Amino acid sequence: MNFEFSFILFGGELNFNTRLESVVKGGIGLCVGLDPVMDKLPEHVRSSAEPLLAFNLEIIEYTHEYAAAYKPNLAFYEAHGLAGWRQLEKTIRAIPEECLIIADGKRGDIGSTAEAYAVSLFETLNCDAATVNPYLGSDALEPFLQREDKGAFILAVTSNPGGADLQDLVCDDEQLFRHVIRMARRLNKLSNVGLVVGATKPDLWHDLLELAEDLSLLIPGIGAQGGDLDAMKRELKDYGTPALVNASRSILYASSGVDFGQAAGDAARRLRDQLVE
């Protein structure tokens, strides 16, 4: 369980960014998204008693050597009700201690609701970090930031085309996402705040990184979404804080046959090598 990995270094508890630095090699690490879609699973896996779990276990077995983190998207488990949630719990328990676990639920609500979400993700599921939505403001994010060893990645510039509908709106003479980044920096009192920044928006990267300063990054959009890996690496070359590049479909569905685990491992190794070269 990852909680044990977080305990003590030189007499104190590791903060989240320190833990992230310890698992990311070369400044950029691979995050494997565990987003199993039933219709895309190999036929022999779909017939098992717990197909999501069976698929994930093989993906983890073949990719953990290359992964700094795993990011299960909660929706793909919640869609299957209690059975899906149980498979998510078992998946999380199977992830090696040395890998961070990021719960991708994009949570964000007020007061006791946000507190309950934080308990669910950090204590019940024992995840190391969560993706959170800043739309309800700082008080909706603070419950995720109370523990030094747990982190939150705040949505800043997302990889989907529709993200610009709100994120690029001009408020007080600048785009809304810039206000979000400044809020994230203000909340980073325990060095456990990061940003979600899509690799599909390369024209924003230079100014965005300058504004982010020392916040860690979770970067979706490489692989199936077509983000430019080389352009991203050029921008990150002088950025001193760790970044996680997430890939899901390009790894999970590298093969639809009985060799899907090996194919996923090969895809993960290739991407990891590209990230650190």
Across 92-101, 152-161, 166-175, 228-237, the highest mean pLDDT is recorded for 92-101
Q: What are phi and psi of 61, to 5 degrees?
A: -55, -40
The pLDDT assigned to 4 comes to 40
The contacts of residue 73 (CB under 8 Å, 6+ apart) are: 33, 34, 35, 104, 105, 248
194 backbone dihedrals φ, ψ, rounded to 5°? -130, 180
Among 201, 253, 192, 191, smallest CA distance to 222 is for 201
Report the distance separating Cα 208 and Cα 221, nearest Å.
Answer: 16
Q: Which CATH class is domain 2-272?
A: alpha beta
Give the residue-averaged pLDDT of 108-124: 94
pLDDT tens per residue across span 171-194: 888 888 899 999 999 999 999 999
Active-site entry in 25, 71, 90, 106: 106
The secondary structure element, H or E, covering residue 72 is strand 69-72
List the chain domain ranges. 2-272
pLDDT > 50? residue 17: yes
Instruction: Give the distance from CA 33 to its chain's centroid.
Output: 7
Residue 131 has pLDDT above 60, yes or no: yes
Look at 206 and 11; give whichever has higher pLDDT.
206
Residue 5 has pLDDT above 50, yes or no: no
Q: Average pLDDT, stretch 91-105?
A: 97
The reply to whether 106 belongs to the active site is yes
Flag whether pLDDT at 3 surpasses 50: no
Q: For 19-46, what is each residue's pLDDT tens digit?
A: 999 999 768 999 999 999 999 999 999 9
217-254 pLDDT tens trace = 999 987 666 677 888 888 888 888 899 999 999 999 99
